[in-house]
Amino acid sequence: MPRGLFITLEGLDGSGKTTQIKRLAAWLERHRLPHIVTRQPGGTAIGDRIRQILLDSRSTGLAPMAEMAMMFADRAQAIAEVIQPALEAGRIVLCDRFTDSTEAYQGGGRELGSQTVLELHRLLCGALQPDLTLLLLPGFEASLARARRRNHRVEQQTGQNEGRFEAEQDAFFRRVWQKYREIAAREPERVALIEGDLSIDEVHEQIVEAVSERLVLAELQAE
């Protein structure tokens, strides 16, 4: 059985990833392409518990290296429990965030550097790389404002506050933004950069185009 396709969505919170991953999943469903949707942190029972700690605004004083270690603990569990089995079964895996997020947020935002992140990825994740990464980079200010409004709305509705990162200063997110652009420049064959203040439909069209091209390539390589 041919290996499945591993597709990740990346970007700042508020970039529209949640909306776009739902639309992409619906597109795959219409084309009868077997797939699963997962997220990081989270996606497993253990990962969801780690997510609660990482994103809860009450988790103050968490050291940057401890934060990164928890991200990789979540990721290693997700690979073993969810991602690798699905790929081996020939499914398309749609994952909301992967190691690019750690490189951007911890490597860039926390200023831990890319080298440490990439070495941990090699050791703990077997260097598993996405076949395609869809990087959404709309306007910086608009993304951040949407993320902060969303977290406030979710807290009012559910009592849960996952805004620990959104509480950071703008300089933190500027470093995240820049690191994402560095990743896209470093790996243009893997990363499809979708930038600018586009409509939801325009972003979806670019995503479908990138995914369709990768599906054709995967079919050719399997022949």
What pLDDT was estimated at residue 179?
96
Q: What share of the chain is helix, strand, coil (3-state, %, to 5)?
A: 60, 10, 30
Residue 127 has pLDDT above 70, yes or no: yes
Q: How confident is the model at residue 1 (pLDDT cuts 50, 70, 90)?
A: low
| pLDDT at residue number 157 | 55
- pTM for the structure as a whole: 0.90
pLDDT, average across residues 90-94: 97
pLDDT score, position 57 = 77
Q: Is 14 left (phi over 0), alpha (psi -120 to 50) or beta?
A: left
pLDDT band at 74 (very low <50, low <70, confident <90, very high): very high
In this structure, the number of other CB atoms found within 10 A of the CB of residue 120 comes to 20
What pLDDT was estimated at residue 13?
85
17-66 residue pLDDT tens: 999 999 999 999 999 999 999 999 999 999 999 999 998 878 888 999 99
CB 89 within 8 A of CB 4: yes
Separation between Cα atoms, residue 182 and residue 135, nearest integer Å: 12
Per-residue pLDDT tens for 139-163?
Answer: 877 777 776 676 555 555 555 555 6
CATH architecture of 6-222: 3-Layer(aba) Sandwich (3.40)
